[in-house]
Each structure stands twice: as C-alpha cells, then as structure tokens.
Chains A and B, each alone.
Chain A
Amino acid sequence: MTKRYLDYLDQLEAEAIHIMREVAGQFEKPALLFSGGKDSITLVRLAEKAFRPGKFPFPLVHIDTGHNFPEAIRYRDELAERLGEKLIVRHVEDTILRKNLSEPKGRYASRNALQTHTLLETIEEFGFDACIGGARRDEEKARAKERIFSVRDEFGQWDPKRQRPELWNTFNGRISKGENVRVFPISNWTELDVWNYIKREEIALPNIYYTHERECLVRDGKLMAWSDFIYQEPDDEVVTRQVRFRTVGDMTCTAAVESIAHDIDGVIAEILESKISERGATRIDDKLSETAMEDRKKGGYF
C-alpha cells in the first residue's frame, strides 16, 4: 500500500480551496478582494485550483488608495488579463471627492483608513454578500481570534463578542439582509507558509518584493518609500538603500526592509533570520496604539 501522507502545504492548500468552494456554494454575490500583495496573489492561485477549468465564481475587486506602488498596479492588471477574470477597481480618491471626506494630514498621513469607506461603498454598489480576503491570523493578536467566516453588520463592523463559534470544517454563511461576510481562506497560514507556497507554485510576484535600489525616507527607524504622496518634514533624511518590501500595501503606511534577497530563497532565508514580525517591520498604522488593529476592524476595516 502506498503511504498516504499529505505535506503541510498541501493540507493548508486543501483547507483554503475547501473554504473558497464553500463561498461559491453558499453565497450569491461573492468577491475576492485583491490588493496586488503576496497574500492576495496567493488567493488567486488557490482560486485557480478550486475552480479551473471553470471561471471564478467571483470578480477580483481592488480598492485603490491612489497611493499604491505602480509595480503592484501593473501586476494586478496583467494578472486579471492573463486569467481572463473580471477586475473591478474602485478609487478612494472618488470617495473623498464625493463624500467630501477630509484627507488625513501630517506626519502619519495615510489613506489606509479611508479605504474602509470605499470598501463599504463598493460592497453596497454591487451587493456583495461575501468578500474573500488574504488576512492571516499570525499577523496580529486581534486577527488571531477572527473567524474564517467573519460576519459584519451593515456598517462593516466586527464585533469580537458576537462572533459565531466555528466548528470542524462547517462554515455558517447565513446572513440577514444588509450583512456581509468576510472570508479568510489563508487564516491558518503564516508569512513563511505563504512564501514557501509561492516558491513551490513558482508564482511570479511584483519585483518590489525582491531587492532593489530605492530612495527612502527614514522615519521612526523605518524606511518609507520616497514618493510624492509621503509627508516630508524639513529634517527628514532621504537615503538610497538596497531594499525589498515584506508587505505591499499603500505606499504611505508600508515600510521597506533592507535586503539583498533577489529571489524567493533569499527572501525565505531572511525571514527565517528575522527578529521582527511582518507587521512590526512594515506597518506604521499598527503602532499608533496597543489595539490599533482591533479598533480598525470594529470600524469595518479588513
């Protein structure tokens, strides 16, 4: 008899595919939230595995802050084109103009928080009842307690005390009108698992995930990509460094790390040696308070 043994990446993949198919089976208008980052790129590969040779039962949706890395945007468009899948893009800029929202100002100015407005508007516009996202439980302590099927009320709010118990592999996607569900198929993956999967699947990533020379602003010990969008104080130092991005999000709140990794093996080796967590190394927004993530999620953030 052959030994039936499933490697851990295969187990994680099987679980994520099962979750995606439950979304397809339980919801009428699902969407996959795509950011151009490695986690959502991984979700797209998992969707191919779950539904090919059929089409995806959901469009890819990107909430564009207007401050994204051009490399990530180009990658997004090429990917949607190559896959022949529908891509919906909604711009935070439009929400700001339409709703007359005030643009955050000052040293930590970022449109990251305004994304929530545009996301909720987009959910309403298309009537999405489920949004698949690439959040992982290892990222942050509030995320460690989030369900795989996370029910949000009509304001997109997460109520940690009202979460549904989630047992076995049975997911309760029943919702009332106006509510929607955020679904996290790679909840149980770590940063390293994602990289190992990208390696195994030979997935091409935007080149900013690998080392390159870049002008950066040094802020609170972190390297922020220099761009027109970033707030600069007179004494801010601009330096040129060999960097890569560990997380690719809005340019104003994701920092670069110094790196010489020019391929996946190099990145994996650096992660194994890293002493700082992914969000700790790269996120400005989490540092603002002890419960920054918990508070944002309660407000409808991813």
Chain B
Amino acid sequence: MDILRFITAGNVDDGKSTLIGRLLYDTKQIFADQLEAIESSGRVNEDGQVDLSLLTDGLKAEREQGITIDVAYKYFSTEKRKFIIADAPGHIQYTRNMVTGASNSNLSIILVDARKGVQEQTRRHSIISSLLGIPHLVICINKMDLVGYDEQVYNQIVEDYKQFARKLQAKDVTFIPVSALKGDNIVEGSELTMPWYQGPSLLEHLEQVPVSQDFNLDDSRFPVQYVIRPLTAEHQDYRGYAGKVISGTYKAGDKVTVQPSGQMTTVKFVELGGKELEEAFAPMSVVLQLEDEVDISRGDVIVKAADGLEAAQEFEAEICWMHNKALKPGAKLLLRHNSTETRCVVRHIEYKIDINTLDHLEDVDQVQLNDICRVQIKTASPLLLDKYADNRSNGGFILVDETSFATVGAGMVAEIEY
C-alpha cells in the first residue's frame, strides 16, 4: 500500500465538494456522527439528499459564506492506497491557496461542468497544475446527468480540452465522465447510464495511477538537517548526518561530495533508528555516516560524486506572490530552500504569466497578490538548486518577509546562472 496525494480545486458550483463528499461517503470514510452533524444542520440538495459539500468546508467563515477559502486536508484509504486530498478553493482570488495545495500533489482533479464545457477556470486550474509540475491530470466532466449522459457532449469537451492542453507540459491526462451527485463513475461504474464509456471510474483510476516513479531517483540530493553527535562513552566519535533523501539513492561505499565546500568522501553507513539500511532512496529520512571527518553543518548537501550539483547565486524563477503588499523590483526578502535560508533580492520582473491563457505580459512593474511572474533573483549566499522541471523536490523555494516573517511567495527555479 502506498500514498497518492491529490488536489481538487474548484468552487461549490462545480460540484467539487460533492465529489469529495461522494468519494468519502462511497468508500465509507464518513462516520455516523459526522453525517449526523450534517443532517442536523438541515442542508440538503435539490434531490433532498444530504449536502455532501458540508463535509469539506471546515471553518466558520467558510460555512457562513458557502465557499472554500483555505486548503483543507482530507484522508481516506482503500485496500490499495492511502489517499491525501488537498481540497483547495477555485476562485482566482485564492490562487495562492491552490498553488499551496498543488505543491505537494502528484495528481490534480479538474472538474468541468458538462453544460458549460472548458471554461476560464478549467484552463486556470490546468495551468497552475502544470506550473507546479503535477505529473498526472484527471479531467472529470461532471454533471453528465444534466446533459442526458450524452456521449457527444463528452467527446466535444474532450476535444476542446486536448486542443487547449497542447501548450501545457502535462505528461499524463485522463478524461472521465462523471456525475458526482448521482455517483456515476466516482466509485462505481456507469454501465446503466453511460454504457458507451469503457474506462475506469475515478476511484479505480486513483487506485492504479502509477506514482512510485514520480520520485526522482536519478539525482542524489541529501540536504543535512541536523548533525547527531552523542558524545557519550559508547558513541565517542559518532557523527551522523540526519536528513531526508529528497531525490536519488545512497548506499555504503558511494563516493560523495559535500556541497558547497566540495569536500570528497565516501558513505560509510546508512541507518535509521539504529538499524542499518542496505540503501536509502527518496523520500526516506535516514542518517548517513561518512568515512572521513569532514566539516558539515545544517544546509550542506551530500551528493554522489557522479551527480554534479553546483552552487549558484543568480537564477530565474517563476514565483507566485502570496501577500497583499505588492512586490517591486529591488525588494529584499528571506529565501528558504529546503534546510537553507539566505537573504535575496528580486532584481527584475521579466514578465507576468496570464494564468488563464499562459500568455506573457511584459513591462510589469510590480507583482500583486496571486500573480505568477518570472523574476530574476540574486542571493546573499550560494544555493544548491536544481531546475524545478528537472527535480521538483530541489527546485522549489519560499520567500519570507524580513520583518513579519510571513511566507509571502513561492518560487520554482527555471534557469540557473553559474
């Protein structure tokens, strides 16, 4: 059994909450007391059924306004997988919340209303999913019951979407006709209502989509989080480097380089909780012991000698701005990348990305809340970065305000200058 993390973005109107409610309900993840709490609220949908969307809207303000504001995490599991749902809002003014939810997801469910077809919101959610490097997209054409389960309608929407998706870097796109309200193709199939559809139901698809290869196992990256030095009689000379293999693999005998100093040594021992491991691979948290006594501290990265990683201070990135106060060129911020923090300056705004069309808007003099822009950044100390497209776990960073310490932006490395 493994884990699939997926995001659903959308508004109440799309039936997103109904879809999640349906997944939880039909996989029997909703407990009687939770259902009772919904029933006692008295909200039912037009069919007189319990309003499943109430399961997902957690905060008082959200229930009052009937919208999702923040990302909510939901969990369910089947025999095959544990699922973690990042339930994100769909409106453009909550783009930052969707970006947040998308950052950790392997799959994105995008809802299309069968009556309306591909809309601005469909495009926006697809573009954000693509920018955040989500490897798998599922396009659920919802409310099929309201178009008479018509195959022609479905096919037309699939065609329209494919047309648009050419400009995305989506590797794996799947289409499923569903009715979240009626439960068609969510957990069960749709033999009665849509015999023309031969593919899997949404849950079947979620259970079988391959995710193990989504981890980058080629480029070894081990950012040191903490140095273990017990200094006890029993462990007099013990030095263990604690961290997470964010990509690649490590085993005893591997020749490694410690960056940014460039010192070379060999992995002596790989362990976790005192037990030796034959090999550590992403995303394991382990301890590495090295053959030589080298000077290593938090923020250094241990890399296999064959997998080069060079330090850089200047790079270009796509950033999503997450704060009310606009970002202007010349702004100084803190930048956190894995276990490293440094100061940085945003030197230039190259262009803004229209997230409804992917068009580039030039001559932008500031970055507003929810904007996604390409910028040039220079850091005070060197960073050990990968391009986000090459290595998702080593190409993302966050921007932090120097005085309030709020997280004000998220960035994805696009081009690095060595």
Contact = CB atoms under 8 A, between A and B. Distances in A.
A291 B284 contact: no
Interface stretch (A13-21, A101-109, A117-125, A231-239): A13-21
A167 B284 contact: no
A82 interface: no
Contacts of B32: 275-276, 280
B23 interface: no
Interface stretch (B171-179, B241-249, B373-381): B241-249
Contact of B225 (A24, A145, A163, A175): A24
A11 B249 CA distance: 15
Given A49-B273, A160-B70, A167-B410, A21 B225 contact: yes
Interface string A172-187: 1011100000000001
Contacts of A7: 1-2
Interface string B217-231: 100000001101110
Contacts of A163: 70
A188 B75 contact: yes
B400 interface: yes
Interface stretch (A50-58, A206-214, A240-248, A251-259): A50-58
Contacts of A6: 2, 281, 283-284
B33 A277 contact: yes
A11 B322 contact: no
A167 B392 CA distance: 12
B398 A53 contact: no
Contacts of B246: 169
A167 B103 contact: yes
B212 interface: yes
Interface stretch (B117-125, B147-155, B335-343, B350-358): B335-343
A14 B285 contact: yes
Main secondary structure, interface of A, reads: loop
Contact of A55 (B103, B230, B283): B230
Contact of A137 (B70, B75, B405): B75
Interface in B345-375: none
Given A7-B2, A277-B31, A190 B75 contact: yes
A275 B31 contact: yes
Contact of A50 (B1, B230, B242, B249): B242
Please report whether the interface of chain B is mostly helix, strand, loop or mixed according to DSSP: mixed
B151 to A, nearest CB: 37
Given A11-B283, A145-B72, A276-B31, A4 B272 contact: no
B196 interface: no
Contacts of B234: 53
Interface in B65-112: 70-75, 77, 81-82, 84, 96-97, 99-100, 103-104
A137 B73 contact: yes
B193 to A, nearest CB: 30
B241 to A, nearest CB: 11
Contacts of B338: 169-170
Contacts of B77: 190, 192
Interface string B259-290: 00000000000001110000101011100000
Contacts of B398: 165, 167, 170, 172
Contact of B1 (A8, A276, A291): A8
Contact of B396 (A18, A170, A176, A280): A170
B33 A280 contact: yes
A167 B31 contact: no
A100 interface: no
A142 interface: yes
Contact of B226 (A11, A21, A145, A164): A21
B77 to A, nearest CB: 8
A11 B211 CA distance: 13
Nearest to A160: B59
A153 interface: no
B226 A174 contact: no
A165 B100 contact: yes
Contacts of B281: 4, 6
A206 B230 CA distance: 30
Interface residues of A, number: 61
Given A21-B242, A142-B58, A188 B99 contact: no
Interface in B13-35: 31-34
A215 to B, nearest CB: 25
B400 A174 contact: yes
Nearest to A281: B33
A93 interface: no
Contacts of B116: none
A168 interface: yes
A276 B82 CA distance: 20
A18 B272 CA distance: 12
B61 A167 contact: no
A44 to B, nearest CB: 12
A8 B3 contact: yes
A276 B35 CA distance: 10
B407 A11 contact: no
B407 A164 contact: yes
B396 A168 contact: yes
B244 A274 contact: no
Given A10-B284, A51-B242, A142-B58, A187 B73 contact: yes
Contacts of A50: 242, 285
Interface in A93-144: 137-138, 141-142, 144
A27 to B, nearest CB: 11
B58 A18 contact: no
Nearest to B283: A14
17 contacts: A4-B212, A4-B279, A8-B82, A25-B226, A50-B242, A51-B228, A53-B238, A54-B240, A138-B74, A138-B75, A170-B338, A172-B407, A193-B82, A280-B31, A280-B33, A280-B34, A294-B60
Interface of B: 1-3, 31-34, 37, 41, 57-61, 70-75, 77, 81-82, 84, 96-97, 99-100, 103-104, 212, 217, 225-226, 228-230, 232, 234-235, 238, 240, 242-244, 246, 249, 272-274, 279, 281, 283-285, 298, 322, 334, 336-339, 392-393, 396-398, 400, 404-407, 410
Given A8-B3, A167-B99, A172-B405, 16 more contacts: A2-B279, A4-B279, A5-B212, A6-B281, A11-B283, A53-B232, A144-B74, A167-B410, A168-B396, A170-B398, A172-B336, A174-B405, A176-B404, A188-B73, A188-B84, A281-B33
- Top 10 A-B pairs, shortest CB-CB distance: A280-B33, A141-B58, A174-B405, A277-B31, A17-B285, A167-B103, A49-B273, A21-B225, A54-B228, A164-B407
